[in-house]
Structures are given as structure tokens and as C-alpha cells.
């Protein structure tokens, strides 16, 4: 296998950055992509993502292009993305995915310099590492305290218009999760939103998909009448970049183990995580401001078939108490 040659910033070099899913992993890839682009500003960076995650990064200043993999097309979609990679003239492949399919993409990419990691197929890379300094051939460090994600002026206008009638403090409520067992009970959401509204604040419901739209409808149907006018249901109405803008416009974020909570972290928003079958450190959410963990010996089991519903033991009063303690802005804190 040919030796890996780091990019030099020369004319004709092209980078393929691979971090295609899921949402939380894509969000955690943002500082990496930004650091690579800032280190080598003259080299075009193309980000390979699964649809619809391109919505989140396509307009970021450190992304020159996106290469979208349509998983809904099955094997044909996978073959198509490999063919497009081969036809794009990339000189370097930098993979931060570590999956079987990312290794297959690397193997058939036709790209001379390939860096990445896989548990048993690292031979497809001529630099079998995910170390960004080794990939770039120079000392590079991601600034853990920096805000990398950029909300465009267009999205700021969109956000401000959508939230103009939502009183402070605005609390983003991420009501869903990929697994039913990771979802906080709807009745608890309704009780919490009643508390937020009765304190003068507003609740912004976030999520996507038909199932979560039905969940939001059920929550709204359980609210006290005075809480309804301060509850704004945006579930299923936002693209991922729009959701990021809405989260950025809120004073706090509450949710379980789900992708939008990674957005809250990336945007440096005060956030409360609700955990049971997974633990914060297992899913990259250990930096949340507050982490409420179910009081069960089996927490962190990651048993998706469990029938214990451990999140039901996290009471709305405890979550609201944590919300009061968050370091939100002065206007929001005064409102509570």
C-alpha cells in the first residue's frame, strides 16, 4: 500500500470529509471540519453526509460542497455515492465515521491518500488513524470552548420572526428520540410545560417525523388553557438548519438522548438532559449543564426492548427545579 501523504495546501488538492450520520455524530464533526478548513483554507472541502443532514452544514463557511448519500435508495444509493466519490477527483479522504460502510467507501474510492479507522478493516486506509494532526501532517487542535456553528443572517431573521410572540424565557423542548424507551412520557412534558407557562415563559416544541408530530399534538391536548397560548409547536416544520437557529434563539433546551441535544451543546446553550437507558458519557452528552439520570440500578443498559420505562421516574418538578438553576440570560432568569 502506498504511503499516506498529508495535504500540503497545493493547487489541485481536494479533501473528502466523511462523517455522514447520525445527527449527533454530524454535529460533533463540525469543529473537525472547521479546523481542517482553517488549517488548509485553499483546499476545497467536500462533506459526505446522509440525507437530510446536509441541511445542517451546506451553508457553513468551512464547507465548500456537500456530497449527499440518499439511503432511501438502498444498495443503488450506496453504489451511486461511491461512483460520485470516484468521479470527483479527490486527493485525500479523511474519515471520522469508523463504520463498515465508510470503510467500503474508502476501499473503492480511488483516492490515493486515505485516513480513518475501523475495528477490523483499517487496512483500507494508508493512515489508519482518526488523529487530526496526523491526518494533516502538522500540529492541530480543536478549540473545545469555541462556537463553530454559524447561524446565517437569513436564518436569524427567520428565527426572530417565528419566535416574536414567544415570551422570555424560551425553553426548547425536544420531545422525541430514536427509540421509544429513550422518550420522556408525554404527560410529564405536559406538566413541565404548564409550569414553564405559569411562570411567564414559553415552550418551543421541537422534533421531526409523523410520530413526533402526533406526540406534540397529544402534549398540546393535555395542557392547561393558559399554557396553550405560550406553547409553540414546531415539530415537523423545520429543516435541520432552521432547528439550529430556533435552538440558538431559546434560553434553555430540555431533552433526552437525541440529536438536537448535540446541537444545543454545539451552540453553547444551557441544556438539561434526561437519561435512563443511556448515560451522557455513552452518547457524547457529558458536557450538558445538567444531567438528570433515572434512579435505577440498570441505567445505561442500552436495552431497547426493556419494559421498565425508567424515564417515567424523572419527575417534572425535578426538571423544572433544574431549569431554575440554569445559567440563562438575565431577562430569562428574572422572568422565572
Q: What is the pLDDT of residues 272-313, one digit of tens each?
A: 999 999 999 999 999 999 999 999 888 999 988 888 889 999
Rounded Cα–Cα distance for residues 272 and 270 (Å): 7
Sequence-distant (6+) residues with CB within 8 A of 187 are: 222
Same domain, 184 and 327: yes
Does 20 reside within a domain? yes
Does 9 reside within a domain? no
Question: What domain range is 213 assigned to?
Answer: 154-335
Whether the pLDDT of residue 329 is over 90: the answer is no
Q: How is residue 280 written as a grid cell?
A: 451522557
Q: What is the pLDDT of residue 11?
A: 96
Give how many domains the chain has, as a whole number: 2
Q: Report the pLDDT averaged over residues 85-97.
A: 98
Does 126 reside within a domain? yes
Does 163 reside within a domain? yes
Rounded Cα–Cα distance for residues 287 and 291 (Å): 9
Same domain, 228 and 330: yes
Q: Report the pLDDT averaged over residues 215-220.
A: 98
CATH number for the domain harbouring residue 75: 3.40.50.2000
Does 4 reside within a domain? no
List the single range of 85-94, 151-160, 296-305 with lowest mean pLDDT: 296-305
What strands lie across the sheet with 92-95, from one edge to the other?
Answer: 65-69, 45-50, 15-18, 92-95, 113-115
Whether the pLDDT of residue 173 is over 60: the answer is yes
Whether the pLDDT of residue 76 is over 90: the answer is yes
Q: What percent of the chain has pLDDT over 70?
A: 97
Whether the pLDDT of residue 328 is over 80: the answer is no
Average pLDDT, the chain: 95
Same domain, 183 and 330: yes
> What values do phi and psi take at 174, rounded to 5?
-90, 100
Does 180 reside within a domain? yes
Does 273 reside within a domain? yes
Same domain, 127 and 19: yes
Whether the pLDDT of residue 133 is over 80: the answer is yes
pLDDT tier at 209, thresholds 50, 70, 90: very high
pLDDT tier at 255, thresholds 50, 70, 90: very high
Does 149 reside within a domain? no
Same domain, 215 and 104: no
Q: How is residue 25 written as a grid cell?
A: 455524530
CA distances from 55 to 10, 47, 153, 242, 298 (A): 29, 12, 16, 9, 37
CA distances from 228 to 173, 190, 335 (A): 14, 10, 18
Whether the pLDDT of residue 327 is over 80: the answer is no
Q: How is residue 315 written as a grid cell?
A: 419527575
Same domain, 87 and 212: no
Same domain, 170 and 303: yes
pLDDT tens-digit readout, 16-57 = 999 999 999 999 999 999 999 999 999 999 999 999 999 999
Same domain, 183 and 302: yes
Q: What is the pLDDT of residue 147?
A: 96
List the single range of 58-67, 76-85, 146-155, 321-330 with lowest mean pLDDT: 321-330
Whether the pLDDT of residue 207 is over 60: the answer is yes
- 271 sits in which H/E element: strand 271-275
Same domain, 168 and 282: yes
Same domain, 38 and 76: yes
> What values do phi and psi take at 200, rounded to 5?
100, -5
pLDDT tier at 334, thresholds 50, 70, 90: low
Amino acid at each position: 500500500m502506498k504511503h499516506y501523504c498529508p495535504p500540503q495546501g497545493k493547487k489541485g488538492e481536494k479533501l473528502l470529509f466523511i462523517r455522514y450520520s447520525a445527527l449527533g455524530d454530524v454535529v460533533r464533526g463540525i469543529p473537525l471540519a472547521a479546523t481542517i478548513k482553517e488549517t488548509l483554507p485553499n483546499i476545497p472541502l467536500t462533506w459526505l453526509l446522509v440525507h437530510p443532514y446536509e441541511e445542517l452544514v451546506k451553508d457553513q463557511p468551512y464547507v465548500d460542497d456537500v456530497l449527499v448519500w440518499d439511503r432511501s435508495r438502498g444498495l443503488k444509493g450506496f453504489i451511486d455515492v461511491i461512483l460520485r466519490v470516484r468521479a470527483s477527483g479527490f486527493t485525500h479522504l479523511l474519515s471520522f465515521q469508523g463504520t463498515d460502510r465508510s470503510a467500503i467507501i474508502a476501499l473503492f474510492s480511488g483516492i490515493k491518500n486515505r485516513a480513518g479507522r475501523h475495528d477490523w478493516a483499517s487496512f483500507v486506509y494508508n493512515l489508519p488513524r482518526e488523529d487530526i494532526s496526523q491526518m494533516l501532517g502538522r500540529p492541530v487542535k480543536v478549540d473545545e470552548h469555541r462556537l463553530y456553528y454559524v447561524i446565517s443572517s437569513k436564518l436569524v431573521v427567520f428565527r426572530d420572526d417565528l419566535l416574536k410572540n414567544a415570551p422570555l424565557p424560551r425553553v426548547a423542548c425536544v420531545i422525541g428520540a430514536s427509540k421509544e424507551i429513550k422518550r420522556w412520557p408525554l404527560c410529564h412534558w405536559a406538566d413541565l410545560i404548564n409550569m414553564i407557562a405559569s411562570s411567564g415563559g414559553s415552550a418551543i416544541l421541537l422534533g421531526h417525523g409523523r410520530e413526533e408530530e402526533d406526540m406534540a399534538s397529544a402534549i398540546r391536548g393535555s395542557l392547561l388553557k393558559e399554557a396553550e397560548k405560550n406553547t409553540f409547536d414546531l415539530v415537523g416544520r423545520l429543516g435541520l438548519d432552521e432547528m439550529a437557529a430556533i435552538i440558538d434563539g431559546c434560553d434553555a433546551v430540555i431533552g433526552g438522548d437525541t440529536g438536537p441535544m448535540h446541537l444545543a451543546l454545539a451552540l453553547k446553550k444551557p441544556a438539561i438532559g434526561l437519561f435512563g437507558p443511556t448515560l451522557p458519557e455513552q452518547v457524547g452528552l457529558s458536557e450538558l449543564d445538567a444531567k438528570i439520570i433515572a434512579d435505577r440500578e440498570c441505567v445505561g443498559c442500552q436495552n431497547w426492548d426493556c419494559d421498565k420505562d425508567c424515564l417515567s421516574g424523572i419527575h417534572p418538578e425535578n426538571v423544572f427545579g433544574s431549569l431554575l438553576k440554569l445559567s440563562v440570560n438575565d431577562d430569562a432568569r428574572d422572568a422565572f
